[in-house]
C-alpha cells in the first residue's frame, strides 16, 4: 500500500527453465530515505517494507559469498594433503603478512640450528671437545653447541669473522659445509620470491573493487524502456588505475533431485554487452553494469512471486590488470533472488560541483535506489501480430489481469 492506495503488481513471463521464477516488487519513496530495521529482518523507509538482504541471505546457502570467497567444501578427495603440498608456494602467498614473516624467520632459524647440530656432532665424535694433546680440530675454535651454532650462522651467510673456520682434517665436515651453502642460497631465493610475490600480489586492488549489495531491475535508460538487471560497480582507488577491465555475469541454478538433495544443475552465461563491447568497462568512476532481459536472457520468463522462491544465484566477476605491476586480478560477488529489487534504478553519483568546476563522486549514494514510476508492463506475445492488440487491451483494461484468457502468450513487465 502506497499513500493509502493498493498498488497492483503486474505479472511477468513464464520461466524458460521450467519452474516459475519472479521478482519482489518493492516501491520506495525516494523523498524519504530514512530506514528503520525491525526484528524480523525487514527494513522500512516510512512507506514500504522490504527484506534486508544482509538478514535474509543468512537463511539461504550460497555458492559464492558477497566478498568473493567460494563457499563450496570439497569431500572425498584422493590424497588431500598432496593437493596442499603440491601448491605450497601459492598457499603461503595467500596467508597474511604475519604468517609469512613467521615462516621467513622460522626457516632461517631452523637451518642454522639443523646444521649447527650436525657440526656439533662432528666435533663431538672427532674428539675436538676433549682437548687432546697434538690433536688437530676439524672446526677450529668450536667447543660446544653454541659455538657450533654460531659457525653455522656465519658460514651460511658468509659473515666470516675469522675466529671459527673449517680445516681439512674431516672430509664429512666440509661436505656438510658445501651442502649448507647450496641449501642456504636456495632458501634465500625461495623466501625472497615469496616476499616479492606477496608484495606484487594485487589482493588489495581486488578488495578495492566495490559491488552494490543489491541488484535492481528497471528500464535500461531514460530513452530505452527495455527491462534490465543492473548492478553498480566502482573502483574506490582513484590513484591507481586499471587496464583492460571487463565484467562477466553468470546464473548458477540448483534443483531438488529425486533423493531430496539440492544439487547444482549448471551455470548459464548472462550477456552484459559482449557483442557491443559494453562488458569492457572504464572504471575511472562508478559504473552500472546492465543485462538486458530479452528472449535470450536466463531471466526472461520470470514472474514476481516465483523468483522469491527460485533456486539460483547470480555471480558477477570483474577482471583487470594493475598498471603499476602488470598483475591480473579477479574480484567476485553474488546475488540471491531476495537481493534483486524490482522497479528501481540506481541514483546518480557523479555530479558537477559548480564552485570548483570539477565532477565529484558521492559514495554515500552508492547503494541508493530510486523508484521508477515510468516502469510500466508490456505484454510480448509469441505472435508478433498480437502485440498491438495486447497494448490496446492494456490501455483500455488496466484494472484486469493481463494474463487472463491468454494461456499461450508470453508476458514481461518493465
Please give, one letter per residue, the 3-state secondary structure of 328-362: EEEEEEEECHHHEEECEEECCCEEEECCCCEEEEC
Task: At 36, list the grid cell.
Answer: 528503520
pLDDT of residue 64: 93
pLDDT of residue 73: 87
- On the question of pLDDT at 139 being above 90, the answer is no
Q: How large is the average pLDDT for residues 281-286?
A: 90
Task: At 30, list the grid cell.
Answer: 525516494
Measured CA distances, 185 to 111, 191, 338 (Å): 11, 10, 56
Q: Chain-wide mean pLDDT for the chain?
A: 77
Position with higher pLDDT, 272 vs 399: 272
Does domain 91-203 bear CATH number 1.10.287.70?
A: yes
- On the question of pLDDT at 170 being above 70, the answer is yes
Domain edges within the chain: 24-66+213-375, 91-203
Rounded Cα distance between 380 and 388, Å, is 10
For 142-154, the pLDDT digits (tens) are 888 999 999 999 9
Would the CA dihedral through 120, 126, 127, 133 be positive or negative?
negative
Give the pLDDT band (50/70/90) at residue 274: confident
Position with higher pLDDT, 275 vs 188: 188
For 299-334, the pLDDT digits (tens) are 887 876 777 778 899 999 999 988 888 888 899 999
- On the question of pLDDT at 21 being above 50, the answer is no
Are 263 and 254 within 8 A, CB to CB? Answer: yes
- On the question of pLDDT at 263 being above 70, the answer is yes
pLDDT of residue 25: 33
Q: How large is the average pLDDT for residues 188-200?
A: 89
- pTM listed for this prediction: 0.66
- On the question of pLDDT at 297 being above 50, the answer is yes
Are 120 and 211 within 8 A, CB to CB? Answer: no
pLDDT of residue 91: 84
Rounded Cα distance between 37 and 309, Å, is 23
- On the question of pLDDT at 69 being above 50, the answer is yes
For 356-404, the pLDDT digits (tens) are 999 999 999 999 999 887 665 443 223 334 434 444 444 444 444 434 4
- On the question of pLDDT at 349 being above 80, the answer is yes
Give kind and range of the element (H or E) at residue 366: none
Give the pLDDT band (50/70/90) at residue 32: very low
pLDDT of residue 182: 95
Give the pLDDT band (50/70/90) at residue 203: confident
Query: For the structural domain made of 24-66+213-375, what CATH number should be given?
Result: 2.60.40.1400
Using a pLDDT cut of 90, give the percent of the chain over it.
32
Q: Per mean pLDDT, which range of 98-107, 112-121, 133-142, 282-291 is the poorest?
A: 133-142
Rounded Cα distance between 141 and 205, Å, is 54
pLDDT of residue 59: 67
For 81-99, the pLDDT digits (tens) are 777 778 788 888 888 889 9
Query: Which of 124, 110, 129, 119 lies closest to 183 in space, CA to CA?
Result: 110
For 209-224, the pLDDT digits (tens) are 999 999 998 888 888 8
Amino acid at each position: 500500500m502506497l499513500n493509502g492506495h493498493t498498488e497492483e503488481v503486474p505479472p511477468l513471463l513464464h520461466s524458460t527453465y521450467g519452474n516459475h521464477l519472479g521478482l519482489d516488487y518493492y516501491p520506495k519513496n525516494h523523498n524519504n530515505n530514512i530506514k528503520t530495521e525491525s526484528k524480523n529482518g525487514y527494513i522500512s523507509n516510512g512507506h514500504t517494507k522490504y527484506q534486508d538482504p544482509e538478514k535474509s541471505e543468512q537463511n539461504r546457502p550460497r555458492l559464492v559469498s558477497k566478498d568473493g570467497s567460494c563457499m563450496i567444501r570439497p569431500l572425498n578427495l584422493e590424497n588431500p594433503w598432496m593437493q596442499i603440498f603440491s601448491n605450497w608456494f601459492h598457499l603461503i602467498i595467500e596467508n597474511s603478512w604475519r604468517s609469512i614473516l613467521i615462516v621467513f624467520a622460522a626457516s632461517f632459524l631452523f637451518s642454522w640450528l639443523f646444521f649447527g647440530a650436525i657440526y656439533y656432532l662432528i666435533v663431538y665424535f672427532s674428539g675436538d671437545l676433549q682437548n687432546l694433546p697434538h690433536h688437530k680440530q676439524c672446526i677450529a675454535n668450536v667447543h660446544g653447541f653454541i659455538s657450533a651454532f654460531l659457525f653455522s650462522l656465519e658460514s651460511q651467510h658468509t659473515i666470516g669473522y675469522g675466529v671459527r673456520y673449517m680445516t681439512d682434517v674431516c672430509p664429512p665436515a666440509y661436505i656438510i659445509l658445501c651442502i649448507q651453502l647450496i641449501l642456504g642460497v636456495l632458501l634465500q631465493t625461495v623466501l625472497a620470491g615469496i616476499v616479492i610475490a606477496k608484495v606484487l600480489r594485487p589482493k588489495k586492488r581486488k578488495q578495492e573493487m566495490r559491488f552494490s549489495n543489491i541488484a535492481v531491475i528497471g528500464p535500461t535508460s531514460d530513452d530505452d524502456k527495455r527491462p534490465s538487471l543492473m548492478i553498480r560497480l566502482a573502483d574506490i582507488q582513484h590513484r591507481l588505475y586499471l587496464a583492460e577491465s571487463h565484467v562477466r555475469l553468470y546464473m548458477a541454478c540448483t534443483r531438488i533431485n529425486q533423493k531430496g538433495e539440492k544439487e547444482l544443475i549448471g551455470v548459464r552465461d548472462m550477456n552484459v554487452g559482449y557483442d557491443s563491447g559494453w562488458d569492457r568497462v572504464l572504471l575511472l568512476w562508478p559504473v552500472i553494469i546492465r543485462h538486458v532481459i530479452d528472449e535470450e536472457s536466463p531471466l526472461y520468463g520470470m514472474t514476481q512471486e516465483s523468483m522469491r522462491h527460485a533456486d539460483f544465484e547470480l555471480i558477477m566477476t570483474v577482471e583487470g590488470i594493475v598498471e603499476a605491476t602488470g598483475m591480473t586480478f579477479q574480484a567476485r560477488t553474488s546475488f540471491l533472488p531476495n537481493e534483486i529489487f524490482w522497479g528501481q534504478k540506481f541514483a546518480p553519483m557523479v555530479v558537477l560541483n559548480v564552485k570548483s568546476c570539477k565532477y565529484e563522486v558521492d559514495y554515500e549514494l552508492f547503494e541508493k535506489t530510486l523508484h521508477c514510476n515510468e516502469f510500466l508492463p508490456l505484454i510480448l506475445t509469441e505472435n508478433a501480430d498480437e502485440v498491438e492488440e495486447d497494448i490496446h487491451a492494456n490501455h483500455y483494461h488496466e484494472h484486469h489481469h493481463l494474463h487472463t484468457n491468454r494461456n499461450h502468450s508470453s508476458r514481461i513487465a518493465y
